[in-house]
Amino acid sequence: MPDVIHTRDVVAALGSGRFDHLKNEPIVAYCTGGIRCEVLSSLMLTRGFREVDHPDGGIVRYGETSGDQGLWNGSLYVFDQRMSVQASKSAAVRGRCDDYVAPTSRVQNCADPSCKTQLVVCAACAEAAAHWCG
């Protein structure tokens, strides 16, 4: 996959021809909720890629339907107020608290309203004080 930050960067990378050598290879795209994958798959097919697939509903739906029996392990960062979702109550904890290296899947915004940083913070640290990144 190209080293990109925004969806528009993927479009530019596909248009550059750098990935034309993959047009006859099976491609699997995965996205959080599936919308970007729908767009990406359609774009790739119109640009000559022969076999492009993605999980219906993205990784979130895959986790909901597969639980611990699927290939996803741990929580998944999401771009809404939930911050992260887990496929099951027994999902593996893969994150570590930014302060104390305690295992956690919890993500929260920095307490400074002018800061846009999101932090991985365990429950104990979150309860101890308003959490600042600086």
Is residue 119 assigned to a domain? yes
Q: Which residues pair with 95 in a beta bridge?
A: 104
Is residue 85 assigned to a domain? no
Domain span including residue 110: 93-134
Is residue 107 assigned to a domain? yes
> Do the Cβ atoms of 95 and 103 come closer than 8 Å?
yes
Is residue 102 assigned to a domain? yes
Is residue 23 assigned to a domain? yes
Catalytic residue check, 110: no
Is residue 106 assigned to a domain? yes
Is residue 67 assigned to a domain? no
Set 31, 97, 122, 125: catalytic member: 31
Is residue 44 assigned to a domain? yes
pTM comes to 0.66
The CB density around residue 93, as the number of other CB atoms within 10 Å, is: 14
pLDDT in tens, 70-120: 887 888 888 788 888 888 888 888 888 877 778 998 888 888 888 888 888
